[in-house]
Amino acid sequence: MYVSDRSSAPKRELDGLSSHILLEEGDAPGGELSITWVDVEPGGEQKPHSHGPQQVYVITRGTGRMKVGADERDVTEGQLVFIPPETEHGIVNTGEGTLTYISAATPAFPVTDLYDAGQLSLSP
């Protein structure tokens, strides 16, 4: 059994986002998912970027504006957003409180390495 805890997971901060990397490539034997817990401060944003794995964001708190490809719309708690592979996407916190979402991507990829290399902050 693989168990991860937000308080001890690798954490990366950028542009008002705090990303807790709960699961990534190589963590769980046979695992094919990458999972992050992301808190976005008011006005903070995840700049548009893209990557190979398909992904979903599950909004668990707050409100924001999500861009996936050419489509933009407001998102709020309880919604799921699907992101196809290699599609530019990003999110901005448009509310007054923290926006929180859980991100799941498959196949698994080295999330920490990509953050550290700057590849998850801007479009290629």
List per-residue pLDDT tens for the chain, 124 residues long: 989 999 999 998 888 889 999 998 888 888 899 999 999 999 999 989 888 899 999 999 999 999 999 999 999 999 999 999 999 999 999 999 999 999 999 988 777 777 776 655 433 3
In the numeric block, the tokens 């592979």 are attached to 85
* Rounded-to-integer distance, Cα 47 and Cα 91, Å: 7
* Rounded-to-integer distance, Cα 93 and Cα 7, Å: 22
Task: Please give the angle made by the CA atoms of 62, 79 and 84, to the nearest 5 degrees.
Answer: 115
**CATH number for the domain formed by residue range(s) 12-116:** 2.60.120.10
What is this structure's pTM? 0.88
CB-based contact 94:35 (threshold 8 Å): no
CB-based contact 20:11 (threshold 8 Å): yes
Spatial neighbors of 16 by CB under 8 A, at least 6 apart, are 40, 41, 42, 43, 44, 45, 93
